[in-house]
Amino acid sequence: MDEARVEKEIKRALNRRDVKERFFNQGVEVIGTSPEQTAAFVKSDMATIAKVIKDAGIPTER
């Protein structure tokens, strides 16, 4: 299956009312973004989380 079709099918599934409701009930808001936007968000979020962990002195495993 090509990348464009996978993206289309994921968007279709995430736009279903029942799927949105399940995510919402777990505190997650479903938003439609491109794979590039999602990757940028995850990268930024990981950097933020890493800083919080480092600043708090929490040991990590590598």
Q: Give the pLDDT confidence score for residue 34 in this predicted structure.
A: 83
Q: Give the pLDDT confidence score for residue 35 in this predicted structure.
A: 84
Cα angle value 17/22/27 (rounded, 5°): 120
**Residue 10 has which token pair?**
């994921």
Average confidence (pLDDT) over 41-62: 93
What is the four-CA torsion angle of 46, 34, 36, 53, rounded to 10 degrees? 0
Q: Give the pLDDT confidence score for residue 21 in this predicted structure.
A: 94
Cα angle value 49/52/40 (rounded, 5°): 25
Q: What is the pLDDT of residues 18-37, one digit of tens each?
A: 999 999 999 998 887 888 89
pTM for the model stands at 0.57
Q: What percent of the chain has pLDDT over 90?
A: 65
